[in-house]
Amino acid sequence: MAKFINVFALSIYRDHIELEDAYRKRLVDLVLELESADGSGKPEHSAWLGDTGGSEFLFQHEEFKELHRLIGEKIRLYAEGLGVDSEMIDFYYQRSWATVSREGERINEHAHEQSNISFAYYLKMPVGGGGINFVTYSHPNEFSPGIFTPAKASMGFIKNPGLQTWNNVTIDPKEGDIFVFPSKTLHSTNPNPQADTRISISADVTTMLRDSQGHETMMPHFSQWEKIGE
């Protein structure tokens, strides 16, 4: 009997981190304070991005340490879910920041090529506050360039659109949800259609082998590096 064998799937890890209401409110208030202190401005309809707004090291803030510890547990579960022995790896936060999306604001399509693992944790999420999009311009099943786009679907070219034939997938988060994925993955957010504010926490995570002996690929541990002279 004829069947499809699905290979080369992109796996987005979705989980949930429930915070006590008082702790969540403290973090929300701190994010809004950081946003207010940034006087650099931002483009119209764009969310406030802490990584370019002077607040790129949230993990250094004492109040955010517990949240980053909880997120770290999810990152290990993500790696283990892909079959990796996480005990052979050290995970490092490079940068960590908040984004604030008010009504009509969004985050444009981008990737984090300088890191290995990325995530989005929804600290504050109004119901119907806009989804997160995952995008590819090289869909493994695209036998002709551009055929698995929303434009083609709207023309009726794709009769039964699905994950096998879709180059832009939207997932609707709930408050407390976390999404973990390879940093090289193109992603964006839809505009927030609600009057209430949407706040997410993200980070660039680098992975290093604890012991690189015998490994040709993956980054050796920085403790073995040597800085080039000044």
Beta pairing partners, 124 = 199
pTM of the model: 0.94
- Give the integer Cα–Cα distance in Å for 169 and 212: 36
CA–CA–CA angle 21, 27, 30 (5° rounding): 140
Q: What average pLDDT does the segment 10-14 reach?
A: 95
- Give the integer Cα–Cα distance in Å for 129 and 173: 8
Model confidence band, residue 43 (pLDDT cutoffs 50, 70, 90): confident
96 or 160, greater pLDDT: 96
pLDDT, position 97: 97
Distances (CA, A) of 10 to 43, 119, 169, 182, 213: 31, 14, 11, 9, 29
- Domains of the chain by residue range: 13-126+174-183+192-211, 132-171
78 or 160, greater pLDDT: 78
Model confidence band, residue 219 (pLDDT cutoffs 50, 70, 90): very high
pLDDT, position 7: 86
Give percent of the chain with pLDDT exceeding 90. 81
Question: What is the CATH number assigned to the segment(s) 13-126+174-183+192-211?
Answer: 2.60.120.620
Q: How many CB atoms lie within 10 A of CB 210?
A: 11
- List of E strands, the chain: 13-16, 48-49, 89-101, 117-124, 132-135, 168-171, 177-182, 186-189, 198-209
95-112 confidence digits (pLDDT tens): 999 999 999 999 999 999
